[in-house]
Amino acid sequence: MSDYQPTERTQVKRLPKRGKYDQETVFSILDTAFVCHVGFTVDGQPYVIPTNFGRSGDMLYLHGSAASRMLRQLSEGLPVCVTVTHVDGLVLARSAFHHSVNYRSVVILGRARLVEDPAEKMEALRIFTEHVMKGRWNDVRQPTEQELKATTVLALPLDEVSAKVRTGGPIDDEGDYNLPVWAGVLPLTTSVKSPEPDPQRRNDPPVPEYLRNYTR
């Protein structure tokens, strides 16, 4: 995989050692996340909206209702900032000042385009579904023409991108290491519980293997 060329806007300036610009890191952060936050400004008012997404190669796809103000505005070419963050642990230092968080994050800058080609639009919907639950697309009813018309899909190129990652334990001032204060990392993970069937079900097929063995 190749690297992204950092720009003035994506170069990590504070704690630059945490900056990552390789596709492998960026893709791994994106592909294990559910939610991104989409930032944009309309008439001087900033908005940051959480939404789902999917990725295919160097393209990020956003989707939602055709009535969505966010998607309608972004389809007109407004500058957009998309962020994704994983919190991997709480870093507890001996001083309040040096407490931190272990995290992995990605920032994407650019302008999105409206996906109008029916084949690309359908493929994007498949990507969304498979991003959340790999193997699900082939089990479910495919979108109808009316459902496709009711859905807006945007494509955002992964051109101006950077990642930032913090790992490891606390970094205290030398004079604080002898303080009688517990210090270390509390790891955080996403856990998967037992599937809960829809009470409105009219048949009772077995739980799919991809759901029984789901991991993130």
DSSP 8-state symbol, 3: B
* pLDDT reported for residue 48: 97
In a domain, 177, yes or no: no
User: Phi/psi class of residue 132: alpha, beta or left (left: φ > 0; alpha: ψ in -120 to 50)?
Assistant: alpha
Q: How far apart are CA 105 and CA 108, in angstroms?
A: 10
* pLDDT reported for residue 135: 94
Q: What is the mean pLDDT of the chain?
A: 94
Mean pLDDT (whole number) for 115-134: 96
What pLDDT, in 10s, does the model give residues 81-92? Answer: 999 999 999 999
| Helix, strand, coil percentages, rounded to 5, for the chain | 20, 35, 45
* Residue 89 · residue 187 · CB < 8 Å: yes
* pLDDT reported for residue 89: 98
Tally the domains of the chain.
Answer: 1
In a domain, 149, yes or no: yes
Residues 6+ apart with CB under 8 A from 158: 4, 26, 55, 58, 59, 60, 108
* Residue 59 · residue 157 · CB < 8 Å: yes
In a domain, 11, yes or no: no
The band of 57, judged by pLDDT with boundaries at 50, 70 and 90, is very high
The CATH number of residue 123's host domain is 2.30.110.10
CA distances in angstroms from 110 to 21, 97, 161, listed in the order given: 16, 35, 9
In a domain, 68, yes or no: yes
Q: Which domain, by its residues, includes 61?
A: 16-171+182-192+201-212
1 pLDDT more than 60: no
Mean pLDDT (whole number) for 12-18: 87
In a domain, 9, yes or no: no
Note if the pTM is more than 0.85: yes
In a domain, 154, yes or no: yes
* pLDDT reported for residue 153: 97
The band of 13, judged by pLDDT with boundaries at 50, 70 and 90, is confident
In a domain, 106, yes or no: yes
* pLDDT reported for residue 6: 87
101 pLDDT more than 70: yes
In a domain, 3, yes or no: no
